[in-house]
């Protein structure tokens, strides 16, 4: 029974397969019964037309009824494909741009193009003329662009417009060969100005190379401002590289960027002080007659740079102490900070608040906190939209010059030194509170020589009016452990109109912050001048009998004891 069931099922399968095959033949056969049934009203007369295959389209035969127009296709022949000839150069690659090659199909004349992706690059001879394009390095096309970057040049105003083809970032590069030619001919600076079409937090980076996240040489943020960039081609990161110099600008979906006054320049002559100080965003004016700089801006804050080349020039000559004085045109809460570098929120070295007073800076260029010299010595000043900043007294000194006659600087006070009397006179310009600093290098030189005791005498001079209730004020001096904030007081002396002798052990364990030298914090100097005399350094504490106390009682005097010496108005009582 089981064998019979299998036989029956097999027989049914064979019959079904035969029926399907017969039906398929009837569909394709124009004389089949099914065709006749569907076109029972027409006795078809099919005529065949052959369509030859092309390079891209299949060939076939089309049968069409001459009576009713019914048609069908058969005899499919696959497309033969293009028959391209050899590649020929239709656009030569030049020194900085890709070329193009083309080949043509011999059957249909279709063309195929491909880019020659390796520009040959400039090859300048000894005279600075390219052997390929026959242009001098000054005439050669400066910029190359990466994919998606767009750079348009307006010859009338010399402006480059930087945008991007749908991308947020553009990269434009200056050929290494062009850079080398300019450097060889003494052009060691690249300068240019960048601005925006719309105010946006747009970032500019100068990269050593184009691929990957490479070291930033300069970084600036536009945010609606105009940024002046100066790139030192002798920077070891640039001079030692074989890569192009790349300028990267982002946020191009938000704002188009403009590059103006792009140029190569010779390095400045460092004998002239008008080359010392620059600023990416502020306006710097050098006053030759007053040997001073005025820095102003429409923005709140700006970075002010003492050129790297200037700093390195003086450091190489052994002059590692940089001194200058800062003041204001208007009394405002204006800060001046010395930064370790230019980018980001970096370590502040000094942060004084001017507020209408004068501040003297003495900066040790070998300070270990100053590690980033990419842009020279960088100062940051705020409130420039309210008060012009003035820098004067700029000088570089050998550390050996920092001796007793030049060992003091002041903040909020002014001072002068009488070389004959060996006395410092300290005056209050505005408020009676400020700082007197014994310079760090002076103390470093002394301690290195084994001298650990700093001694000096402080004497107040009352200069108030006769109508005052008192002829003296309680001037106070505090010896700070450091410069900033309310730090630990080491010594506190109230002068109360009398002289005080200070003997300070520089090895005192409480004196841990020597970043700004030894800081004396002085209060209540509004109606007094202060005199510092007998500055000396010793290997050990002086004998007690050598100490002295001075009394002073001078009201509305017509002479200045600072210049004329101690007169009968002074009393000296030996202890």
Tens of pLDDT, residue by residue over 234-278, are: 777 777 777 888 888 888 888 888 999 888 888 766 667 877 888
Closest CA to 454 of 505, 399, 523: 505
Threshold 0.75, pTM exceeds: no
pLDDT for the residue 152: 86
CATH number among 2.40.50, 2.60.120, 3.40.50, 1.20.950, domain 402-575: 2.60.120
Whether the per-residue pLDDT at 358 is higher than 90: the answer is no
Provide CB contacts within 8 A for 211, sequence distance 6+. none
Look at phi and psi of residue 193 and say left if phi exceeds 0, alpha if psi is from -120 to 50, else beta: beta
Are 453 and 518 spatial neighbours (Cβ–Cβ below 8 Å)?
no
pLDDT for residue 424: 92
Q: Which class in CATH covers the domain with range 143-266?
A: mainly beta
Is 31 in contact with 46 (CB distance < 8 Å)?
no
Q: Report yes or no: 107 and 53 within 8 Å, Cβ to Cβ.
A: no
Instruction: Work out the number of other CB atoms within 10 angstroms of the CB of residue 219.
Output: 17
The alpha-helical segments, DSSP class H, found in 416-566 are 440-448, 561-564
Domain layout of the chain by residue ranges = 44-81, 143-266, 270-398, 402-575
pLDDT digits (tens, 9 = 90+) for 362-385: 888 887 778 888 778 888 888 888
- How many Å is the Cα radius of gyration of the chain? 43
pLDDT band at 119; cut points 50, 70, 90: low
Q: What angle do CA 352, 355, 357 make, to 5 degrees?
A: 85
Question: What CATH number matches the domain at 270-398, 2.30.30, 3.30.70, 3.40.190, 2.60.120?
Answer: 2.60.120
- CA atoms of 460 and 470, how far apart (whole Å): 14
User: What are the tokens at 271?
Assistant: 């004998």
Segment 213-235 shows an average pLDDT of 73
């Amino acid at each position: 029974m089981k064998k019979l069931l299998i036989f029956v099922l097999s027989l049914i399968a064979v019959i079904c397969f035969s029926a399907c095959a017969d039906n398929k033949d009837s569909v394709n056969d124009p004389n089949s019964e099914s065709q006749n049934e569907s076109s029972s009203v027409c006795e078809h007369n099919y005529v065949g037309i052959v369509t030859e295959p092309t390079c891209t389209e299949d060939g076939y035969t089309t049968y069409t009824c001459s009576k009713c127009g019914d048609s069908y296709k058969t005899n499919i022949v696959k497309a033969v494909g293009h028959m391209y000839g050899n590649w020929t150069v239709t656009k030569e690659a030049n020194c900085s741009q890709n070329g193009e090659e083309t080949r043509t199909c011999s059957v249909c004349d279709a063309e195929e193009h491909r880019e020659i992706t390796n520009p040959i690059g400039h090859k300048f001879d000894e005279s600075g003329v390219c052997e390929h394009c026959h242009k001098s390095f000054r005439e050669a096309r400066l910029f190359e662009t990466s994919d998606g970057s767009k750079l348009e040049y307006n010859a009338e105003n010399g402006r480059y417009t930087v945008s991007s083809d749908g991308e947020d970032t553009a990269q434009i590069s200056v050929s290494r060969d062009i850079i080398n030619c300019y450097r060889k001919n003494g052009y060691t600076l690249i300068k240019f100005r960048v601005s925006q079409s719309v105010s946006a937090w747009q970032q500019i980076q100068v990269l050593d190379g184009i691929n990957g996240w490479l070291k930033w040489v300069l970084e600036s943020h536009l945010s609606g401002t105009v940024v002046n960039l100066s790139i030192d081609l002798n920077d070891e990161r640039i001079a030692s590289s074989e890569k192009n110099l790349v300028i990267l600008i982002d946020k191009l979906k938000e704002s188009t960027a403009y590059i103006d006054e792009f140029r190569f320049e010779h390095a400045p002559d460092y004998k002239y002080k008008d080359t010392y100080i620059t600023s990416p965003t502020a306006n710097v004016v050098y006053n030759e007659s007053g040997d001073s700089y005025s820095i102003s801006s429409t923005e709140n804050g700006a970075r002010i740079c003492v050129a790297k080349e200037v700093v390195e020039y003086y450091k190489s000559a052994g002059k590692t102490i940089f001194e200058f004085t800062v003041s204001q045109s208007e009394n405002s809460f204006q800060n001046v900070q010395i930064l370790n570098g230019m980018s980001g929120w970096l370590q502040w070295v000094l942060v004084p608040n001017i507020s209408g007073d004068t501040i003297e800076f003495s900066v040790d260029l070998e300070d270990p906190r100053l590690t980033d010299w990419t842009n020279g010595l960088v100062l940051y000043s705020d409130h420039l939209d309210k008060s012009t900043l003035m820098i004067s007294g700029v000088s570089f000194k050998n550390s050996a010059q920092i001796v007793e006659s030049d060992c003091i600087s002041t903040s909020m006070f002014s001072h002068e030194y009488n070389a004959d009397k060996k006395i410092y006179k300290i005056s209050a310009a505005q408020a009676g509170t400020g700082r007197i600093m014994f310079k760090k290098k002076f103390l470093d030189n002394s301690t290195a020589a084994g001298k650990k005791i700093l001694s000096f005498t402080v004497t107040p001079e009352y200069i108030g009016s006769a109508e005052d209730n008192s002829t003296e004020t309680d001037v106070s001096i505090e010896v700070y452990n450091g410069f900033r904030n309310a730090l630990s007081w080491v010594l506190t002396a109230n002068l109360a109109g009398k002289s005080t002798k200070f003997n300070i052990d520089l090895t005192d364990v409480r004196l841990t912050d020597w970043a700004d030298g030894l800081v004396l914090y002085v209060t209540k100097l509004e109606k007094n001048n202060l005199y510092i005399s007998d500055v000396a350094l010793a290997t050990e504490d002086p004998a007690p009998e050598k100490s002295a106390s001075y009394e002073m009682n001078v009201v509305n005097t017509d002479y200045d004891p600072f210049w004329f010496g101690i007169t009968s108005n002074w009393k000296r009582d030996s202890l």
